[in-house]
Structure 1
Amino acid sequence: MTNSPQSASLEHIRVLDLTRVLAGPWCTQNLADLGADVIKVERPDVGDDTRSWGPPYAKDADGNNSTEAAYYLTANRGKRSITVDIATPEGQQVIRHLVMQSDVVIENYKVDQLKKYGLDYASLSALKPDLVYCSITGFGQTGPYAARAGYDFIIQGMGGLMSITGERDELPGGGPQKVGVAITDLMTGMYATIAVLAALTHRERTGVGQYIDLALLDVQVAMLANVGSNYLASGQAPKRWGNAHPNIVPYQTFATSDGHIIVAAGNDGQYRKFVQVGDYPELATDPRFISNPQRVEFRDTLVPILAEMVKKKSKEEWLELLESAGVPCGPINRLDEVFNDPQVQARECAIELPHPTAGNVRLVANPIKMSATPTRYNNAPPLLGQHTNHVLQELLGYSEQQLAQLRDKNVI
């Protein structure tokens, strides 16, 4: 897939990226992987906040730390970086000129912050009516919380995710828990990608652009999925179940003699096979555990017995036994085990790109696999302002003298 000579789905699209941190850059990296020309606008001398969110840093060719934070590398490949101070009139004019050469603007500034610079949707769409403009904020453009700053961790709490994530309150370690990655940011970036593609499709049919208002809180509520739907149908707020399932037993994690596994016995036959290969055949016929409703009722009796059973064998022994018996199972892998897994390697889930200061950087691949227009990985995440001169000369025809004047005024 890397550097494919085939055409890319979005190679005719240019995106002006006024985002930073994760939700917005995740969206624009998706668009870049699909072939769009993404121009990342950053603050002079500082750049995206995540450039300083280290360690860890990428290693250079000699194995020493570079200045490229791994967090920044996560969401910025395939883009061209330019530095523009949008707080200056000259910088605002540069952005307007670039908008006229772009199809999409994506930003994640606070509500109305870009309005004072004349870079809001109303101002820019007056110049370019077919512009697709996407705003990403914590709480959206309307409502009593619109002016608040939104952070993934806070939204996970406010949006209900932490109320259903974590061990049961009555067990050791019980209590609310956030997800191990900034899942709300990432899902907002994914929804933004979908929305931009839908708006571009609409524009191709009608010639008309539109405004997209995306909020982290809205996304968090939406991604509750069946749990949210269950509440709306029943009026009963669900509780945390840790790694267990509220309706199926056994469907959870277990500690083996040397690690942890997941057992997902979704029916009575799978349960019987589980206890039989574990040398506890009496559990298959015990009337308290003979069917799933009974196992759910007597969960607190059965699960400790199963936990003792599982501890008697190693992780690899259990995985081999359960897979042979047709019982759904899986390991809980550390990331070294993830990236060494033969299936992960066969699916090319990690890629390597040459970098101007960090040698070759290893990155997580885009999971989209397309036959006619595969994802592209043309460039590593750019250095701060790496493409300023080239972009302003190529797209706007700025002369060396104009660039020097803007640089003298610290505009670029």
Structure 2
Amino acid sequence: MSEPPAPPQAAPLAGIKVVDLSKILAGPYATMSLADLGADVTKVEHPEGGDPTRRWGPPFQGEDATYYLAANRNKRSVTLDLKTPEGQAEVHRMLAGADVMVENFRPGSTLARVFDYRALTERYPRLVVLHISAFGETGPLRDEPGYDMVAQASAGLMSLTGETDGPPLKAGFAMGDLGAALFGLVGITSALVERARTGRGQYVTTSLYETQLALHANWATAHFATGERPTRLGSGHPSLVPYQAYEASDGHFVIAVGNDALFRTLCAALDLDALADDERFTTNAARVANRDDLNARLTDVLARRTVGEWCDALKAAGVPAAPIRHLDEVYACPQTAALGMVQEVEHPAAGTLRQVAFPVSFNGVRPAVRTAPPTLGQHDDNPRTQQGARA
């Protein structure tokens, strides 16, 4: 197996070896994050087709779908049939020198039994194993499969997303998968810290379902306090008003008023000083109670000028406001460029790829996009690996 490129300066996980047996998005995004942080990650894929997201297109860039390219950089790819004794033996050879294994085997499946965490823990006591599932380790839904949309529906996110009088909508991002990926990443790094103290690894579990519940945050505590079923508010905020998108004469923008002083400043900027003294709107609690009346007044005024004019005027007054940008505008924005959030890397088949970099810097240095997402089996150059791959 070829050696990975040397980690850059911002590589706090350099020296950590990861065996990635996961597929789709949650597991691969977690392991990509580990790789971004300097870990040596080997992605194990089935010889016939590999990770299903390689075919989740269009769009494609080269032979692989851009969906796959979004979650697999800085890794190596080897192909193994994990249902064969030879493939399983090769994985165990890799695990003997590994620090972390990540998998999302369906509970009760053949592979879940073959790579049971109890046997792995006994055989490799220092190994940290992350298992990501749809619904968690216990409960009546434990054995059910689930994609991101299933998690968004069953865990309540879709009930909170969309206009009040419209249908429920899924979030634009894959929040079920990405939530599990990020909490899984926290679990792995925490287990590695504890292993440094105790010398023992851990079996770490998370799921799309439970991480969505954790991300409910203030929605959950409001429900616990009132017993009421939350309703969709479009772009509105359940606890702050005005804090949402509004329509100008040429498009939409957002206003975010987080306190009463800012509301008075907003009223002055809009030449609506009488609203600031109206008892229906003087406090945030009153504004929440009279949301519709206030928004009707604001909507009428804001429709008279352009997005650019309102954003300039409100920012000059100190009121948080921003245009709603499309992705082409986001990636052309000078702020995006200044942060170095887009990096380029050469792919052996697709040419130059642009990638959104890891969003945390260390001593001012952002982890580098070192290598492109690998082609299927790109690193099948070890005789033992090739033997397992052919099985």
Q: Is the 8 A contact 2:10 2:367 kept in 1?
A: no
Matched residue, 1:95: 91
Q: Tell whether 2:3 aligns with 1:8.
A: no
Matched residue, 2:38: 35
Q: Tell whether 2:110 aligns with 1:118.
A: no
Q: SS in structure 2 opposite 1:253?
A: strand
Residue of structure 2 aligned with 1:375, choices 348, 351, 367: 367
State the AA in 2 paired with 1:71. Answer: Y
Distance (whole Å) between structure 1 residues aligned to residue 363 and residue 109 of structure 2: 42
Q: Tell whether 2:205 aligns with 1:189.
A: no
**Cα distance change of structure 1 residues 347 and 3 upon mapping to structure 2, 3 Å threshold:** farther
Matched residue, 1:80: 76
State the AA in 2 paired with 1:51. Answer: R
Distance (whole Å) between structure 1 residues aligned to residue 127 and residue 283 of structure 2: 59
Matched residue, 1:52: 55
Matched residue, 1:62: none
Distance (whole Å) between structure 1 residues aligned to residue 203 and residue 145 of structure 2: 20
Q: Is the 8 A contact 1:110 1:149 kept in 2?
A: yes
Matched residue, 2:358: 366
Per-residue deviation, 1:229: 2.0
Distance (whole Å) between structure 2 residues aligned to residue 214 and residue 247 of structure 1: 29
Q: Is the 8 A contact 1:280 1:309 kept in 2?
A: no
Q: SS in structure 2 opposite 1:308?
A: helix
Per-residue deviation, 1:114: 4.7
1:322-361 mapped onto 2 (5 Å cutoff): 322-361=314-353
Q: Is the 8 A contact 1:9 1:373 kept in 2?
A: no
1:298-313 mapped onto 2 (5 Å cutoff): 298-313=290-305
Q: Runs of 5+ in structure 1 lacking a partner?
A: 59-65
Identity %: 42
Q: Is the 8 A contact 1:3 1:377 kept in 2?
A: no
**Number of equivalences:** 387
Distance (whole Å) between structure 1 residues aligned to residue 316 and residue 153 of structure 2: 41
Distance (whole Å) between structure 2 residues aligned to residue 406 and residue 198 of structure 1: 33
1:173-188 mapped onto 2 (5 Å cutoff): 174-188=166-180
**Cα distance change of structure 1 residues 292 and 89 upon mapping to structure 2, 3 Å threshold:** closer
For residues 102-135 of structure 1, the C-alpha deviation after alignment (integer angstroms, 9 at most, x for no partner) is: 1111000101325576222123223212111111
Q: Is the 8 A contact 2:13 2:38 kept in 1?
A: yes
State the AA in 2 paired with 1:103. Answer: D
State the AA in 1 paired with 2:349. Answer: T
Q: SS in structure 1 opposite 2:187?
A: helix
Which of 39-48 and 148-157 deviates more? 148-157
Q: Is the 8 A contact 1:257 1:313 kept in 2?
A: yes
Distance (whole Å) between structure 1 residues aligned to residue 304 and residue 119 of structure 2: 68
Q: SS in structure 2 opposite 1:384?
A: coil
Q: Is the 8 A contact 1:86 1:117 kept in 2?
A: no
Distance (whole Å) between structure 1 residues aligned to residue 311 and residue 330 of structure 2: 16
State the AA in 2 paired with 1:162. Answer: M
Q: Runs of 5+ in structure 2 lacking a partner?
A: none
For residues 116-160 of structure 1, the C-alpha deviation after alignment (integer angstroms, 9 at most, x for no partner) is: 762221232232121111111101222221110022111112112
Matched residue, 1:317: 309
Matched residue, 2:66: 70
Q: Is the 8 A contact 1:4 1:374 kept in 2?
A: no
Q: Is the 8 A contact 2:128 2:192 kept in 1?
A: yes
Per-residue deviation, 1:241: 1.6
Question: What is the root-mean-square deviation in Å for CA atoms of aligned residues?
Answer: 2.1
Matched residue, 1:199: 191
State the AA in 2 paired with 1:96. Answer: H
Per-residue deviation, 1:31: 0.3
For residues 49-97 of structure 1, the C-alpha deviation after alignment (integer angstroms, 9 at most, x for no partner) is: 1000111122xxxxxxx21211001110000000000111111111111
Matched residue, 1:163: 159
TM-score (norm 1): 0.88
State the AA in 1 paired with 2:154. Answer: M
Q: SS in structure 2 opposite 1:388?
A: coil
Which of 275-284 and 295-304 deviates more? 275-284
Which of 12-21 and 112-121 deviates more? 112-121
Q: Tell whether 2:223 aligns with 1:231.
A: yes
Per-residue deviation, 1:349: 1.4
For residues 218-272 of structure 1, the C-alpha deviation after alignment (integer angstroms, 9 at most, x for no partner) is: 1111111122122223333322222122333222110111111111122333333
State the AA in 2 paired with 1:274. Answer: L
Distance (whole Å) between structure 1 residues aligned to residue 75 and residue 232 of structure 2: 40
Distance (whole Å) between structure 1 residues aligned to residue 364 and residue 255 of structure 2: 38
Distance (whole Å) between structure 2 residues aligned to residue 253 and residue 199 of structure 1: 41
Residue of structure 1 aligned with 2:130, choices 131, 134, 141: 134
Distance (whole Å) between structure 1 residues aligned to residue 258 and residue 112 of structure 2: 57
State the AA in 1 paired with 2:269. Answer: V
Matched residue, 2:21: 18
State the AA in 2 paired with 1:39. Answer: T
Distance (whole Å) between structure 2 residues aligned to residue 31 and residue 353 of structure 1: 18
